[in-house]
Chain A
Amino acid sequence: MTFLGAFAVFFAAIFTNNILLTNYLGMCSFLSVSREVKTSVGLGAAVTFVMAFTSAINWAVYHYLLVPDLVYLRYIVFIVVIAAFVQIVEMIIERVSDVLYAALGIFLPLITVNCAILGVSLFMVIREYTFLQSFAFGLGSGLGWMLAIIAMAGIRRKIAKSPIPRGLEGAGITLIIAGIMAMAFVGFSGMITLG
């Protein structure tokens, strides 16, 4: 049952409860890095990786160290864990791919304050997920975020050749598209619902 539960959470996090399109978290880098599919894939993968592992680490830290007396420390502890993790991921990317490192530029360290990542850790606490569910939720949310940003990058590639009203160029049209995408994702909502 727990496995099935985790599976449901995983799918819900990608489609029906996509953290980017239903909660509108992680917009900053979503808008800035979605210009190219290649960099979107890179950042999406980095976010997925960080989300999956920080939610698992934070689950353990929360349940073994903070519960029951110190739960009010969760914000600062979660942030510190995420920051350290991002730093390590940054080192790894710098080692593995110069091009990805240069393309992500400032957005890589900015994952630290990507609210979607802190959001995943906090939702996991509020929704009282088990360890497995938390990991699935983190992984699913990351993949969902990646799916959304790659879709956006694809759309923006087409949009670059389209006549856009001048006042809507850039961020304006991107936000409108994000809204329409969000509505499309709501179409999944009959499938599974998260608490």
Chain B
Amino acid sequence: MNELIQAVGILSAISAVLSLLMVIADRTIANYGEVTITINDEKKLTVQGGSTLLSTLMSEEIFIPSACGGRGSCGFCKVRVLEGAGDTLPTELPHLSEEERRNSIRLSCQLKIKKDMKIEIPEELFNVKQFRGVVARIRDLTYDIKEITIRLLEPAEISFKAGQYVQLETPEYELADEPVYRAYSVSSAPSRKDLVELEIRRVPNGICTTYVHDYLKEGAAVTLNGPYGEFFLRDSTRRIVFIAGGSGNAPIKSILSDMAEKKIGRKALYFFGARTTKDLFLQEEMKAFEGQLSDFTYIPALSEPAEEDNWGGETGLITDVIDRRLDMGEETEAYLCGSPGMIAACIKVLTAKGIPEERIYYDKFA
């Protein structure tokens, strides 16, 4: 009996002493304290050191793309680390080219934060967030295009550049076995940080568009992430030509609202292509921009106006109308949004008019 107590006592005492040592070690050796991460020379984060850069940024709601979940096998989570990192680790080497190593590119999932760090990430990623919101309004713009207004709840504000898009989540339903994301351009102005307005055209059997048109109701909860994309007004003094068809109006509307608010007076033309008057929408709003902007003309064009439409405006294929009406020359930027076929056809017309291809911007949502 005595020996039993002795054995258990000794073993427990040894374990207790060792546990105590471990706790002390964890508090001292493994404690890296608070460190500051400076992102793009502007934003400073104060975080607890010791974790990987990827997971730390994620907990600060900065989403670096990562497909493998931080195992170091996908190589997506590259970040430029200017200060505060040691040598490149053997686990990173398979994913980094010679040039990337010279440019201090690191895999953020392998790199642990131990001291103050200076990093660079694309501005775009900086802003990408997951948003929860509620459908505030759904209205029919045409027989097949709906305008969805989403009021953001968590986070309550989004900052984006006019012309960028978000990805809307379609939850599981009849046509989707798992949540599906589809990209839609934001049509509301960036100044309205509390809401996101989308123009969504019904695509026959489209997973997301069917959900939006047939299932989504006002008051429903929605999830989206963003903003993404390089389709935004470039900062220059060049003249601008906008070309859109159907729901491709959305980013242009956002850009125009933004220009009106910022009083950007660049000469601008907006060609909007549709088949009949049934496909036209928001005509007053678009026309109203002519008053709000100093040098803006809205040119809707119908390819097949019906007899009863009494259409007095431009008629013909959008490419023909552009060919007829556009005379702005080389110093022009073009912003296109529509079907891939329309974009390809318009690029031809625009380059023939002397606009260099690198100044023709578009989002291709195939």
- A102, B89: Cβ atoms under 8 Å? yes
- Complex CA distance for A95 and B22, rounded to whole angstroms: 15
Q: A81 — which chain B residues lie within 8 A by C-beta?
A: 14, 18
- A80-B15, A81-B18, A91-B26 known; 10 other A-B pairs, CB under 8 Å? A65-B10, A65-B14, A70-B3, A80-B14, A84-B22, A88-B25, A97-B86, A98-B86, A102-B89, A102-B110
Asked whether A25 is an interface residue with its Cβ less than 8 Å from the other chain, the reply is no
26 A-B pairs with CB atoms under 8 Å apart are A61-B14, A65-B13, A65-B14, A69-B3, A69-B7, A70-B3, A70-B6, A73-B7, A77-B14, A80-B18, A81-B18, A84-B18, A84-B22, A87-B25, A88-B25, A88-B29, A91-B26, A94-B30, A95-B29, A95-B32, A98-B112, A99-B89, A102-B89, A102-B91, A102-B110, A103-B89
Interface residues in A37-91 (C-beta closer than 8 Å to B): 61, 65-66, 69-70, 73, 76-77, 80-81, 84, 87-88, 91
- Complex CA distance for A84 and B17, rounded to whole angstroms: 10
Q: Which 7 A-B pairs have the closest CB atoms?
A: A102-B89, A84-B18, A91-B29, A98-B86, A91-B30, A88-B25, A99-B87
**A134 CB to nearest chain B CB (Å):** 18
**B94 CB to nearest chain A CB (Å):** 13
Asked whether A92 is an interface residue with its Cβ less than 8 Å from the other chain, the reply is yes
Q: B10 — which chain A residues lie within 8 A by C-beta?
A: 65-66, 70, 73
- A84, B90: Cβ atoms under 8 Å? no
Given contacts A66-B10, A87-B25, whether A99 and B18 have CB atoms under 8 Å apart is no
- B25, A99: Cβ atoms under 8 Å? no
- Complex CA distance for A97 and B114, rounded to whole angstroms: 11
Q: Secondary structure at chain B's binding surface: helix, strand, loop or mixed?
A: helix
- A70, B7: Cβ atoms under 8 Å? yes
**A58 CB to nearest chain B CB (Å):** 11
Interface residues in B1-37 (C-beta closer than 8 Å to A): 3, 6-7, 10-11, 13-15, 18, 21-22, 25-26, 29-30, 32
Residues of B within 8 A of A (CB): 3, 6-7, 10-11, 13-15, 18, 21-22, 25-26, 29-30, 32, 86-87, 89-91, 110, 112, 114
**B87 CB to nearest chain A CB (Å):** 5
Specify the chain A residue showing the minimal Cβ separation from B28.
A91
Specify the chain A residue showing the minimal Cβ separation from B93.
A102
**B84 CB to nearest chain A CB (Å):** 11
Which of these, A77, A99, A102, contacts B11 with CB under 8 Å? A77
- Complex CA distance for A94 and B113, rounded to whole angstroms: 11
Q: A70 — which chain B residues lie within 8 A by C-beta?
A: 3, 6-7, 10
Q: How many residues of chain A are within 8 Å of chain B by beta carbon?
A: 23
**A20 CB to nearest chain B CB (Å):** 24
- Complex CA distance for A104 and B81, rounded to whole angstroms: 24
- A102, B90: Cβ atoms under 8 Å? yes
- B90, A95: Cβ atoms under 8 Å? no
Specify the chain A residue showing the minimal Cβ separation from B26.
A91
Specify the chain A residue showing the minimal Cβ separation from B92.
A102
Question: Most chain-B CB neighbours within 10 Å: which of A69, A77, A97, A98?
Answer: A98
Q: A84 — which chain B residues lie within 8 A by C-beta?
A: 18, 21-22
Q: A88 — which chain B residues lie within 8 A by C-beta?
A: 21-22, 25, 29
Q: B7 — which chain A residues lie within 8 A by C-beta?
A: 69-70, 73
Which of these, B13, B30, B87, B110, contacts A95 with CB under 8 Å? B30
Q: B91 — which chain A residues lie within 8 A by C-beta?
A: 102, 105
Q: B87 — which chain A residues lie within 8 A by C-beta?
A: 98-99
Q: A103 — which chain B residues lie within 8 A by C-beta?
A: 89-90
- Complex CA distance for A77 and B14, rounded to whole angstroms: 8
- B89, A98: Cβ atoms under 8 Å? yes
- Complex CA distance for A69 and B91, rounded to whole angstroms: 49
- Complex CA distance for A168 and B145, rounded to whole angstroms: 69
Q: B89 — which chain A residues lie within 8 A by C-beta?
A: 98-99, 102-103
- B29, A92: Cβ atoms under 8 Å? yes
Q: A69 — which chain B residues lie within 8 A by C-beta?
A: 3, 6-7
- Complex CA distance for A97 and B7, rounded to whole angstroms: 40
Q: B30 — which chain A residues lie within 8 A by C-beta?
A: 91, 94-95
**A191 CB to nearest chain B CB (Å):** 38
**B25 CB to nearest chain A CB (Å):** 5
